[in-house]
């Protein structure tokens, strides 16, 4: 069959060539002997060129008339700016009537406070308040400008050098808001095409930074070294392109969403093996971990230079506000020109920088406060370990003690409602202020929700026992 | 708008070209001479040797090294006082041609034309400061907790009500930082399938918020209601890209005063267009709230726009109120929705209580609820000061951008060489000014920016004008030489004295 077609085609071609050959026989143009098949080929080429030069077929485009656009605009109905309110979740939260110290007044009643990340118990500390007052009198409240435009006040520079001296890093840079630190730092260093390996349990600030960076983000299992290693291996093995782009690992030292602690020794080993840079958010470990409070690196006895970029919010252990990023001079200088939250926002109010200096001073002078904190954490762990229906998922050293439901109801919302009910009863019946790990619907973290207790060195033994007792009593009733 | 003279454009381009050529040449020779690569080109860092890609890409870094570092003494100048009408600028020196700067303990006392201290609340204030200190003692500097946990104090609740009342909206929500207010709220209002139409000169926080939201972003020409209408028609008719489904919702984002231009938003025209096309409006009043309007209520009051017509009103406390943080004011439903989903409300440390108290006290002064007429005086003073300064600058022949009543007035410099010259010469004569260049402005449109405060006295302003005029002659930036009838700025100044 096929050969038949071929034969006939060959015959037809022969015939056409012969037909052309005849009149043009022995015609020679510029020394080239022209015979039939050349003519046929020329013709074919002309046809192909003609076809190519034609525009491909498109339905004729008729722009909409003004009238049609008017009609479309007329017909368009936008969704409302926000969905209509449903009553399912409370939006009113307990109102504090005094400082958020270990004992505070909530809605007119004195309570024991486990809701503030006041790890060192510095809220209301006299030295801190005094340094704030003298700063307020000298500098006023706000700085009225970004760092570039006369918003750099000498206390900012002092605070930056205090922090780097404390941590033993070459330089550091202050941000005016804790959460803006990490979400500005990530896009300042990670751009389109770069590779980021991040823990799946990172908090929203990190998630936002990852999103804004437009880099390729790969998540590994929450606090799972094996998963991290296989991710790194997969990304780099035989991948020539990966060698040319910047590569980062982004983790938290103590995860806000679970209280677990990163295994820095293994991570540093992996980072060096695969040549990734390490970005570490120390918001809940700076001033807490290590013998002198210098954070996760000190806890593991790892030289701080091994971590390329460290960020931390100062609204926790230091009991002030704002945040900092520290690292090599180059890392810091780069941020001063290209980190959006640093360049485009008014600088930290000077009294908050003074408070941070005073807080670091305090920590240097009183390292024993860390022992108190550790003892409190241990005590709380022991007390909570037998609360029915709950398990502790946080690290025994984490100042965030995280209680997870042993048996989830199956939906995060219903879990949260149940937890909230427990927490509300604990507050109203026993005057102990605890919080659930509430989630914004924009948060992509899928770790289980739970009850979070922020331990402070300012808590007394009886405060802690009271919290444990109350929680046990209420869960017995609620989960029975 | 900017009227860039042809010759100036040419010389400016030439200057940048020269800087670029010499920079490249120097890089080339350094590469030849320095083989060990230790200090060489910060773009080929030690990291590269270890097999890490460099942190900075070549050209970005080139700009920093060869242009910015040469004039970096004009930026980030530390001060050793409150950012009041006069500041103590800390003197710095450099031993390596400006690559690194070192602080000294010496300061120079300068008139401050740089800070956003529009109403003069930056320094200690007879009414605010005692209240702030009282709150500090009561609440400490921080709550160490987010608003949804233990971060809501009575002050926060009070300030939310007060802000809502002040700006003329039913409800408000607070954040500890203006930048984060924009960048966290916009994603809470709109997402995939929505359209954000943003003014081309909007602040970086808005740009980042829009990007973070996942919505499609289109830009309209700065302050042009006609172009906004064009974009709206095109987008509504065309729908979403590829699928052509209708947009879920459209939000138009504008600012009250554009901080790099000093221009007021053409709000009435823009609102009219938005209403016609059912787009929602988002107004960022960072620079305008407190600073303009008869009772300090911002552009809406100044331009006679009903606040009910603006869906979302955003503002910051870092400027007129001399504090920190930001707010969103809107209908009760929207605020409740935001309180239910905004991540910054859930996860960020709540606004520092003494800072909240500062805003409460400042608004009370503005409203006259402190029992004095200081607020009204401040508001009159900032308007007088701004209009006086602007008209004097015009008379001197400077090219000044912006509208009357706006306390922000950029003076065009254009040439890269004139940026440090203007800044340093002013500083030498004890006037602290802000200069802005690429990338904050387009490459050819470098400028100095003056921010006037109600705390400036007439003598301060006259002294500053004299210095600026003298430096302007020296540097050659009086691009529009005076017409005869207002030829003598100095005479005018003398008369005023
Ligand atoms: C228009 C606009 N929005 C937001 C901000 C950010 O405010 P903040 O400095 O309080 O972070 C600024 C500040 O420069 C601004 O100009």
Domain A98-113+367-478 has CATH 3.40.50.720: no
Name residues whose C-beta falls within 8 Å of residue A435's C-beta, 6 or more positions apart in sequence: A114, A115, A423, A451, A452, B145, B148, B149, B150
Q: Which two tokens stand for residue A205?
A: 């600030």
Element (H, E) at B5: none
CA distance B228 to B336: 30
By three-state DSSP, how is residue B280 classified?
strand
Name the DSSP letter for residue A34: P
Calculate mean pLDDT across residues A217-238.
Answer: 91
- Give yes or no for residue A466 having a pLDDT over 80: yes
pLDDT at residue A17 in the model? 61
Which atom of ligand 1 is nearest the CA belonging to B259? 16
ipTM for the complex? 0.90
User: Residue B189 and residue A157: Cβ atoms within 8 Å?
Assistant: no
Q: pLDDT tens, B446-487?
A: 999 999 999 999 999 999 999 999 999 998 888 877 654 444
pLDDT digits (tens, 9 = 90+) for A372-401: 999 999 999 999 988 888 999 999 999 999
Q: Residue B120 above 60 pLDDT?
A: yes
Whether residue A85 is predicted with pLDDT greater than 80 in this model: the reply is no
CA dihedral A227, A231, A234, A236 (to 10 degrees): -140
* Burial (CB count <10 Å: 0-12, 13-18, 19+), residue A238: exposed
- Ligand 1 site residues (CB inside 6 A) read A 344-346; B 177-179, 182, 203, 205, 255, 259, 284, 286-287, 316, 318, 326
pLDDT at B50: 60
The pLDDT assigned to B100 comes to 87
Contact B212 A68 (CB under 8 A): no
Rounded to 5 degrees, φ, ψ at A348 are -60, 135
What pLDDT, on the 0 to 100 scale, is given for residue B258? 92
Over residues A303-351, the pLDDT tens digits come to 999 999 999 999 999 999 999 999 998 889 889 888 999 999 999 999 9
A179 with B141: Cβ contact below 8 A: no
CATH of the domain at B344: 3.40.640.10
How does DSSP assign A189-201, residue by residue?
H--TT-EEEEETT
Select the more confidently predicted residue: B407 or A480.
B407
User: Is B390 strand, coil or helix?
Assistant: helix
pLDDT band at B65 (very low <50, low <70, confident <90, very high): confident
Tell me what pLDDT residue A279 has. Answer: 93
Q: Where are the beta strands (DSSP E) in B144-249?
A: 171-175, 195-199, 216-220
Report the alpha-carbon distance of residue A335 to residue B49 in Å, rounded. 23
Same domain? B143 vs B92: no
By mean pLDDT, which of A256-270, A412-426, B59-73, B309-323 is the weakest? B59-73
List strands edge to edge, sheet with A103-106: A103-106, A109-113, A432-433
Nearest-Cα residue of chain A relative to residue B336: A91
Q: What is the residue with the minimal CA distance to atom 12 of ligand 1?
A: B286
- Which one of B337, B367, B397 terminates a domain? B367
Question: Which residues from A are below 8 Å from B132, CB to CB?
Answer: 136, 141
pLDDT tens for each residue of B287-330: 999 999 999 999 999 999 999 999 999 999 999 999 999 999 99
Which residues constitute the domain of residue B50? 2-71
Q: Which of A23-37, A85-99, B161-175, B354-368 has the lowest mean pLDDT?
A: A23-37
Q: Do B190 and B58 share a structural domain?
A: no
CB contact under 8 A, A72 and B237: yes
How far apart (Å, rounded) are the C-alpha atoms in residues A206 and B414?
Answer: 39
Pocket test for ligand 1, best of A144, A340, A345 (most atoms within 8 A of CB): A345
Q: CB–CB of A301/A264 below 8 Å?
A: no
Q: What is the mean pLDDT of residues B140-163?
A: 92
Examine the domain organization and report whether B194 and B257 are in the same domain. yes
Q: What confidence tier does A57 reach under pLDDT thresholds 50, 70, 90?
A: low
The structure tokens 């773009």 sit at B43
How many other CB atoms are there within 10 angstroms of residue B402's CB atom?
21
At residue B46, the pLDDT reads 40
Using only C-alpha atoms, chain A has a radius of gyration, in whole angstroms, of 34
Q: What is the pLDDT of residue B223?
A: 92
Average pLDDT for B58-81: 84
Helices (H), A245-317: 264-274, 296-300
CA distance A370 to A281: 20
d(CA A33, CA A356): 93
Fold exhibited by the domain A126-365:
3.40.640
Residue of A nearest to B123 (CA): A140
Q: Are residues B267 and B352 in the same domain?
A: yes
C-alpha atoms less than 13 angstroms from C-alpha of A161 in its C-beta half-sphere: 6
Question: Do B329 and B445 fall into the same domain?
Answer: no
Cβ-Cβ contacts under 8 Å, B185 against chain A? none
Q: Quote the pLDDT of residue B329.
A: 94
Q: Which atom of ligand 1 is nearest to the CA of A344?
A: 14
Q: Is residue B82 pLDDT above 60, yes or no?
A: yes
Whole-model pTM?
0.88
- Convert B57-110 into a string of H (helix), E (strand) and C (coil): CHHHHHHHHHHHHHHHHHCCCCECCCCCCEEEEEEEECCCCCCCCEEEEEEEEE
pLDDT > 70? residue A87: no
- Residue of A180, A132, A117 lying closest to A349 (CA atoms): A132
Nearest to B453 by CA among A144, A441, A464: A144
Residue B352: list chain A partners with CB under 8 A.
Answer: 320-321, 349, 352
Alpha-helical segments (H) within A217-263: 225-236, 240-244
Domain boundary among B367, B394, B417: B367
Q: From B180, B253, B286, give the residue whose CB has the most ligand 1 atoms within 8 Å, as the site to mutate.
A: B286
pLDDT at A81 over 60: yes
- Determine the average pLDDT of the residues in A41-61: 79
Asked whether the beta carbons of residue B337 and residue A247 sit closer than 8 angstroms, the reply is: no
Identify which of B361, B382, B395, B367 has the alpha carbon closest to the alpha carbon of residue B489.
B395
The tokens for A341 are 């939250």
Give the pLDDT confidence score for residue A86 in this predicted structure: 66
pLDDT at A28: 62
**Which of A75-89, B283-297, B407-421 is predicted least confidently?**
A75-89
Percent of chain A clearing pLDDT 70 (strictly above): 90
Mean pLDDT of chain A: 87
Residue A150 has pLDDT above 70, yes or no: yes
B100 neighbourhood in chain A, CB within 8 Å:
none
In this predicted structure, the answer to whether residue A75 has a pLDDT above a threshold of 90 is no
Task: Place A116 in a pLDDT band, splitting at 50, 70 and 90.
Answer: very high
Would you say residue B491 has pLDDT above 60?
A: no
Same domain as B10, residue B152: no
Q: Cα–Cα distances in Å, from B348 out to A114, B205, B312, B336, B471?
A: 17, 17, 21, 18, 46
Average pLDDT value over all residues in chain B: 87
Q: Around B238, how many Cα atoms within 13 Å sit in the side-chain half-sphere?
A: 11
> Is residue B54 located within the same domain as residue B111?
no
**Distance from C-alpha of A397 to C-alpha of A377, rounded to nearest angstrom:** 7
Tokens 């926790």 locate to A316
Residue B268: exposure state from Cβ atoms within 10 A (0-12, 13-18, ≥19):
middle
Interchain CB distance below 8 Å, B60 and A338: yes
- Asked whether the beta carbons of A451 and A399 are under 8 A apart, the reply is no
Question: Residues A262, A265, A267, A268: is their CA dihedral positive or negative?
Answer: positive
What pairing do the DSSP bridges indicate for beta strands B195-199 and B216-220?
A: parallel
> How confident is the model at residue B269, as a pLDDT?
94
Query: Which residue in B274, B240, B237, B273 sits closest to A72, CA to CA?
Result: B237
Give the rounded percent of residues in chain B with a pLDDT score beyond 70. 92
Biggest alpha carbon distance in chain B?
72
Q: How confident is the model at residue A72 (pLDDT cuts 50, 70, 90)?
A: confident
* Residues A314 and A323: beta-carbon distance below 8 Å: yes
Q: How many domains does chain B have?
A: 3
B3: left (phi > 0), else alpha (psi -120 to 50), else beta?
Answer: beta
**Are B160 and B345 in contact, with CB atoms under 8 Å apart?**
no
Q: In this structure, are B327 and B304 located in the same domain? A: yes
pLDDT value of residue B487 = 42
In chain A, where the domains are located: 1-77, 98-113+367-478, 126-365
| DSSP for residue A60 | P
Q: Which of A105-109, A232-236, A476-480 is the least confident region?
A: A476-480
pLDDT in tens, A170-219: 999 999 999 999 999 999 999 888 899 999 999 999 999 999 999 999 99
Optimal mutation site among B108, B134, B139, B140, interface A, most CBs of chain A within 10 A: B140
| pLDDT average, residue stretch B49-70 | 74
Residue B31: which pLDDT band, with cuts at 50, 70 and 90? confident
d(CA B400, CA B388): 13
For residues B367 and B371, give the distance between their C-alpha atoms in angstroms, rounded to a whole number. Answer: 9
Q: What pLDDT shows up at residue B1?
A: 58
Tens digits of residue pLDDT in B207-242: 999 999 999 999 999 999 999 999 999 999 888 988
Decide if pLDDT at B45 tops 60.
Answer: no
Query: Considering B367, B386, B417, which residue would you say is the last residue of a domain?
Result: B367
Closest CA–CA distance from residue A53 to any residue of chain B (Å): 28
Q: What is the pLDDT of residue A412?
A: 86
Read off the pLDDT of each residue in B54-75 and give the average, rounded to a whole number: 80
The torsion angle over the Cα atoms of residues B241, B242, B248 and B251, rounded to 10 degrees, is 0
Shared domain check, B141 and B112:
no
């Amino acid at each position: 069959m096929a050969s038949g077609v071929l034969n006939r085609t060959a015959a037809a071609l022969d015939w056409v060539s012969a037909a052309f050959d005849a009149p043009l026989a022995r015609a020679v143009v510029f020394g080239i002997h022209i015979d039939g098949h050349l003519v046929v080929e020329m013709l074919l080429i002309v046809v192909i060129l003609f076809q190519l030069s034609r525009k491909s077929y498109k339905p004729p485009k008729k722009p909409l008339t003004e009238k049609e656009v008017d009609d479309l605009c007329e017909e368009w109905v936008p969704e409302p700016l926000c969905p209509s309110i449903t009553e399912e979740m409370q939006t009113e939260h307990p109102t504090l009537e005094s400082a958020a110290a270990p004992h505070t007044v909530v809605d007119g009643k004195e309570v024991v406070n486990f809701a503030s990340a006041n790890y060192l118990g510095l809220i209301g500390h006299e030295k801190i308040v005094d340094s704030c007052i003298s700063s307020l009198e000298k500098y006023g409240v706000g700085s009225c400008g970004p760092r570039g435009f006369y918003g750099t006040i000498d206390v900012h520079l002092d605070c930056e050098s205090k922090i780097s001296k404390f941590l033993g890093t070459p330089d550091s840079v202050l941000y005016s808001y804790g959460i803006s630190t990490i979400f500005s730092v990530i896009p300042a260093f990670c751009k389109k095409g770069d590779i980021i390996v991040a823990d799946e349990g990172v908090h929203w600030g990190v998630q936002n930074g990852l999103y804004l960076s437009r880099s390729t983000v790969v998540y590994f299992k929450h606090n799972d070294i094996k998963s991290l290693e296989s991710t790194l291996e997969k990304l780099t093995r035989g991948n020539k392109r990966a060698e040319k782009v910047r590569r980062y690992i982004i983790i938290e030292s103590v995860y806000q969403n679970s209280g677990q602690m990163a295994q820095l020794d293994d991570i540093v080993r992996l980072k060096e093996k695969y040549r990734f840079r390490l970005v570490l958010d120390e918001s809940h470990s700076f001033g807490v971990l290590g013998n002198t409070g210098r954070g996760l690196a000190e806890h593991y006895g790892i030289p701080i230079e091994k971590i390329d970029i460290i960020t931390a919010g100062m609204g926790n252990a230091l009991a002030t506000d704002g945040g900092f990023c520290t690292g090599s001079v180059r890392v810091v200088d780069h941020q001063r020109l290209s980190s959006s939250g640093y360049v485009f926002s008014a600088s930290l109010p000077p009294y908050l920088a003074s408070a941070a200096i005073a807080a670091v001073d305090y920590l240097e002078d009183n390292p024993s406060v860390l022992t108190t904190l550790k003892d409190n954490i241990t005590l709380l762990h022991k007390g909570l370990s037998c609360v029915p229906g709950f398990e502790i998922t946080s690290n025994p050293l984490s100042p965030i003690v995280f209680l997870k439901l042993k048996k989830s109801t199956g939906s995060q919302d219903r879990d949260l409602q149940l937890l909230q009910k427990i927490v509300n009863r604990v507050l109203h019946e026993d005057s102990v202020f605890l919080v659930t790990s509430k989630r914004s619907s924009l948060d992509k973290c899928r770790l289980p929700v739970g009850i979070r207790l922020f331990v402070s060195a300012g808590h007394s033994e009886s405060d802690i026992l009271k919290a444990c007792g109350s929680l046990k009593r209420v869960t017995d009733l609620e989960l029975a | 708008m900017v009227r860039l003279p042809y010759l100036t454009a040419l010389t400016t381009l030439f200057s940048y070209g020269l800087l670029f050529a010499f920079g490249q040449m120097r890089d080339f020779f350094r590469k030849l001479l320095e083989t060990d690569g230790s200090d060489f080109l910060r773009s080929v860092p030690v990291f590269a040797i270890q097999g890490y890609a460099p942190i900075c890409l070549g050209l970005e870094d080139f700009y920093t090294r060869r242009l910015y570092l040469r004039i970096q003494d004009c930026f980030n100048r530390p001060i050793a006082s409150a950012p009041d009408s006069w500041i103590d600028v800390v003197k710095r020196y450099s031993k390596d041609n400006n690559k690194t700067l070192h602080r000294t303990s010496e300061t120079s006392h300068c008139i401050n034309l740089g800070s956003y201290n529009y109403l003069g609340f930056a320094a200690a204030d007879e009414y605010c400061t005692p209240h702030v200190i009282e709150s500090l003692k009561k609440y400490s500097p921080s709550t160490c907790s987010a608003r949804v946990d233990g971060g809501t104090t009575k002050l926060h609740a009070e300030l939310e009500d007060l802000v809502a009342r002040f700006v003329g909206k039913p409800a408000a929500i607070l954040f500890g930082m203006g930048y984060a207010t924009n960048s966290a709220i916009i994603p809470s209002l709109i997402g995939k399938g929505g359209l954000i139409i943003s003014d081309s000169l909007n602040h970086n926080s808005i740009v980042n918020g829009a990007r973070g939201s996942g919505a499609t972003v289109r830009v309209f020409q700065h302050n042009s209601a006609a172009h906004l209408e064009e974009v709206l028609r095109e987008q509504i008719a065309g729908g979403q890209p590829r699928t052509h489904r209708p947009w879920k919702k459209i939000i138009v984002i504008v600012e009250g005063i554009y901080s790099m231009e000093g221009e007021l938003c053409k709000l009435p025209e823009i609102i009219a267009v938005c209403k016609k096309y059912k787009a929602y409006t988002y107004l960022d009043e960072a620079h305008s709230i407190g600073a303009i309007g008869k009772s300090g209520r911002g552009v809406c009051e100044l331009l006679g726009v009903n606040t009910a017509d603006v869906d979302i009103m955003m503002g910051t406390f870092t400027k007129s109120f001399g504090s920190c943080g930001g707010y969103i004011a809107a209908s009760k439903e929207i605020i409740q929705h935001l309180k239910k989903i905004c991540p910054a409300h859930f996860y960020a440390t709540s606004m520092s209580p003494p800072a909240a108290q500062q805003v409460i006290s400042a608004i009370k002064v503005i409203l006259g609820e402190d029992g004095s007429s200081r607020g009204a005086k401040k508001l009159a003073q900032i308007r007088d000061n701004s209009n006086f300064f602007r008209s004097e600058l015009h008379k001197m022949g400077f090219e000044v951008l912006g509208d009357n009543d706006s306390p922000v007035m950029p003076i065009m410099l254009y040439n890269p060489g004139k940026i440090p010259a203007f800044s340093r010469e002013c500083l030498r004569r004890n006037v602290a000014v802000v200069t802005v260049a690429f990338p904050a402005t387009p490459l050819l449109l470098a400028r100095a920016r003056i921010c006037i405060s109600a705390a400036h006295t007439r003598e301060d302003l006259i002294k500053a004008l004299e210095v600026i005029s003298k430096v302007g002659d020296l540097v050659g930036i009086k691009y529009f030489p005076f017409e005869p009838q207002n030829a003598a700025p100095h005479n005018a100044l003398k008369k005023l004295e």
